[in-house]
């Protein structure tokens, strides 16, 4: 579809194309048995997703640019842009967790393209260049930390360090990036956004529970990720008295129980998750000699998050001594809570009100690329409800009309920020 300049008309959202693209992208990496899709960063499935999004960017005649960590951008320049104008950036990610929903990340990228499409189809140039990004490895489940592409873009991690990251599967990130053909040349961060707005599903229960249409995201909680390894002794399940055991499996279970209690003791502000857990040799009649697990701690308050980390470290010391095992930890991600730009948050709220959508200010429980771009530019987020508060699950769902509402808010925010609001 080419875009010859047509007479200037109203800028309006093409919701049908947005919904169609969400569905089409959602089919890439589809899991037949479990349902959902798996498009883990830098795998062939994610490459296929990247190729499709880049194709849609080219269809809109956007400049397609890839940076050295594989962040993929589509740029629609303003007439005043001599190549140095700081763009209004939108975006998110298209990599997914395992057995994921179709909306996490993809919604923000494709809604950004829908804003560019509104300009294209009205034959109107944006007064400021707009740039839509699909950031590399937001989920961080193969290569850590998460939000890696946007973290590198914001200068929080060197390109080389990121490229040299070894994944949970033993691959080197840079090799995989080259293999899928997305090792770009743009220096990450070379184009500093004037501001950044990310549209995302809430992935939590609040908006639906309160019957509210739009989340005006003011801040985002802190995240602490650790890999924990427990070294005990294998021994015979039938001959080893309990008091003589150095049972790595028991210690792993004790950690899971301790973390649940730690979260409950916080009154609900601290969240703790053990997402990965494995024991070796993992056979029925051998006391586990080794256990490895991951710990994800979150809290909107940095001091409480630090307290949770401290209490957990003290527990590990005590249980290691009690059980005669060795416990080692390795930090794999640590991000402080982020407060978004007040002016931009006000704009999101004003747009939701202007469009007549109920809305409330809220904290993001999930990590997002916006928290990284907030290091280099004013940033804010828009949420739409998640059905049942479910996400990172094939059952992740937001109704079509809710998806359209969120994209209308994004378009309205952009138009007002660019001084191109329509009467
Ligand atoms: O972990 C997170 O919150 C995000 O989904 N990467
Ligand atoms: Mn996401
Ligand atoms: Mn996610």
For residue 323, the domain's CATH number is 3.30.70.360
Asked if residue 233 and residue 208 are part of one domain, the reply reads no
Structure confidence at residue 362 (pLDDT): 98
Asked if residue 281 and residue 248 are part of one domain, the reply reads yes
Average pLDDT, the chain: 96
Structure confidence at residue 1 (pLDDT): 43
**Domain for residue 373, yes or no?**
yes
Instruction: Tell me which DSSP letter residue 318 carries.
Output: H
* Top mutation candidate among 98, 100, 137, 139 for ligand 1, by most atoms within 8 Å of CB: 139
**Domain for residue 253, yes or no?**
yes
Structure confidence at residue 10 (pLDDT): 84
Asked if residue 96 and residue 198 are part of one domain, the reply reads yes
Total domains in the chain come to 2
Residue for token pair 């209308």:
408
State the distance from the centre of ligand 3 to the C-alpha of 392, rounded, in angstroms: 6
Residue 313 has pLDDT above 90, yes or no: yes
Asked if residue 172 and residue 203 are part of one domain, the reply reads yes
Asked if residue 310 and residue 382 are part of one domain, the reply reads no
Mapped onto helix, strand or coil, the DSSP state of residue 161 is: helix
Query: What is the C-alpha to C-alpha distance for residues 3 and 399, in angstroms, rounded to an integer?
Result: 30
Among the bound ligands, name the one nearest to the CA of residue 106: 2
Residue 5 has pLDDT above 50, yes or no: no
State the distance from the centre of ligand 3 to the C-alpha of 282, rounded, in angstroms: 30
Sequence-distant (≥ 6) Cβ neighbours of residue 306 within 8 angstroms: none
Cα angle 9, 12, 16; round to 5: 130
pLDDT tens for each residue of 325-364? 999 999 999 999 999 999 999 999 999 999 999 999 999 9
Q: Which residues make up the environment of ion ligand 3, defined by Cβ < 5 Å?
A: 104
Residue 4 has pLDDT above 70, yes or no: no
Asked if residue 96 and residue 74 are part of one domain, the reply reads yes
pLDDT tens for each residue of 71-100? 999 999 999 999 999 999 999 999 999 999
Q: Which of the pair, 378 or 8, is modelled with greater confidence?
A: 378
Structure confidence at residue 3 (pLDDT): 47
Query: What is the C-alpha to C-alpha distance for residues 222 and 227, in angstroms, rounded to an integer?
Result: 17
- Measured from CB, residues less than 6 Å from any atom of ligand 1 are 138-140, 146, 366-367
State the distance from the centre of ligand 3 to the C-alpha of 250, rounded, in angstroms: 30
- Which pLDDT band, with edges at 50, 70 and 90, does 8 fall under? low
Structure confidence at residue 2 (pLDDT): 45
Structure confidence at residue 35 (pLDDT): 87
Query: What is the C-alpha to C-alpha distance for residues 293 and 289, in angstroms, rounded to an integer?
Result: 14
Structure confidence at residue 33 (pLDDT): 84
Closest C-alpha to ligand 1, atom 4: 367
Structure confidence at residue 250 (pLDDT): 98
Asked if residue 127 and residue 66 are part of one domain, the reply reads yes
Query: What is the C-alpha to C-alpha distance for residues 216 and 386, in angstroms, rounded to an integer?
Result: 15
pLDDT tens for each residue of 95-105? 999 999 999 99
Query: What is the C-alpha to C-alpha distance for residues 248 and 259, in angstroms, rounded to an integer?
Result: 17
Structure confidence at residue 135 (pLDDT): 98
Q: Pull the structure tokens for residue 136.
A: 């590399």
- Its domain, for residue 385, covers 3-221+337-417
Structure confidence at residue 32 (pLDDT): 83
**Domain for residue 423, yes or no?**
no
Last residue of a domain, one of 280, 305, 335: 335
Residue 7 has pLDDT above 70, yes or no: no
Among the bound ligands, name the one nearest to the CA of residue 221: 1
Once rounded to an integer, what is the mean pLDDT over residues 201-214?
98
Which residues on adjacent β-strands are paired with residue 329? 228
State the distance from the centre of ligand 1 to the C-alpha of 145, rounded, in angstroms: 10
Last residue of a domain, one of 317, 335, 353: 335
pTM for the predicted model, two decimal places: 0.95
**Domain for residue 294, yes or no?**
yes
Last residue of a domain, one of 286, 318, 335: 335
State the distance from the centre of ligand 3 to the C-alpha of 369, rounded, in angstroms: 10
State the distance from the centre of ligand 1 to the C-alpha of 255, rounded, in angstroms: 22
Asked if residue 295 and residue 205 are part of one domain, the reply reads no
Query: Before 103, cis peptide (omega within 30)?
Result: no
Asked if residue 106 and residue 255 are part of one domain, the reply reads no
**Domain for residue 422, yes or no?**
no
Residue 397 has pLDDT above 90, yes or no: yes
Asked if residue 269 and residue 316 are part of one domain, the reply reads yes
Structure confidence at residue 423 (pLDDT): 78
Asked if residue 375 and residue 354 are part of one domain, the reply reads yes
Asked if residue 346 and residue 320 are part of one domain, the reply reads no
CATH assignment at residue 122: 3.40.630.10
Sequence-distant (≥ 6) Cβ neighbours of residue 403 within 8 angstroms: 15, 18, 19, 22, 103, 107, 384
Sequence-distant (≥ 6) Cβ neighbours of residue 209 within 8 angstroms: 389
Closest C-alpha to ligand 1, atom 1: 367
């Amino acid at each position: 579809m080419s875009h010859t300049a047509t007479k200037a008309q109203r800028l309006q959202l093409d919701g049908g194309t947005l919904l169609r693209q969400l569905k089409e992208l959602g089919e890439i990496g589809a899991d037949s048995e479990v349902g959902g899709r798996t498009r883990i960063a830098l795998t062939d499935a994610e490459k296929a997703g990247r190729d499709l999004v880049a194709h849609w960017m080219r269809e809109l005649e956007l400049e397609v640019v890839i940076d050295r960590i594989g962040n993929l951008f589509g740029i629609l320049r303003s007439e005043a842009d001599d190549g140095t104008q700081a763009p209004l950036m939108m975006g998110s990610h298209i990599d997914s967790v395992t057995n994921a929903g179709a909306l996490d990340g993809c919604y923000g990228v494709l809604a950004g393209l829908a804003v560019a499409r509104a300009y294209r189809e009205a034959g109107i140039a944006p007064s400021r260049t707009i740039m839509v990004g699909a950031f590399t490895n937001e989920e961080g489940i193969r290569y850590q930390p998460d939000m890696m592409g946007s973290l590198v873009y914001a200068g929080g991690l060197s390109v080389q360090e990121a490229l040299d990251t070894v994944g949970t599967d033993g691959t080197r990130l840079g090799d995989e990036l080259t293999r899928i053909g997305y090792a770009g040349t743009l220096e990450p961060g070379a184009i500093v956004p004037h501001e950044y707005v990310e549209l995302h599903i809430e992935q939590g229960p609040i908006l639906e529970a309160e019957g509210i249409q739009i989340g005006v995201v003011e801040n985002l909680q802190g995240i602490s990720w650790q890999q924990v390894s427990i070294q005990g002794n294998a021994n015979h399940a039938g001959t080893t008295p309990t008091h003589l055991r150095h049972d790595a499996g028991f210690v792993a279970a004790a950690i899971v129980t301790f973390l649940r209690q730690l979260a409950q003791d916080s009154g609900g502000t601290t969240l703790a998750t053990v997402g990965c857990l494995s024991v070796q040799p993992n056979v029925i009649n051998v006391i586990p000699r080794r256990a490895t697990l991951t710990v994800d701690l979150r809290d909107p308050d940095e001091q409480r998050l630090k307290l949770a980390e401290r209490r957990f470290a003290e527990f590990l010391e005590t249980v290691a001594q009690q059980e005669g095992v060795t416990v080692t930890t390795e930090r794999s991600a640590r991000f402080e809570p982020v407060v978004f730009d007040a002016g931009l948050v006000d704009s999101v709220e004003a747009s939701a009100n202007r469009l007549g959508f109920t809305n409330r200010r809220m904290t993001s429980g999930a990590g997002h690329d916006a928290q990284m771009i907030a290091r280099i530019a004013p940033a804010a987020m828009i949420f739409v409800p998640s059905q049942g508060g479910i996400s990172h699950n094939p059952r992740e769902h937001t109704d079509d009309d809710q998806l359209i509402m969120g994209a209308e808010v994004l378009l309205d925010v952009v138009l007002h920020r660019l001084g191109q609001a329509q009467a």
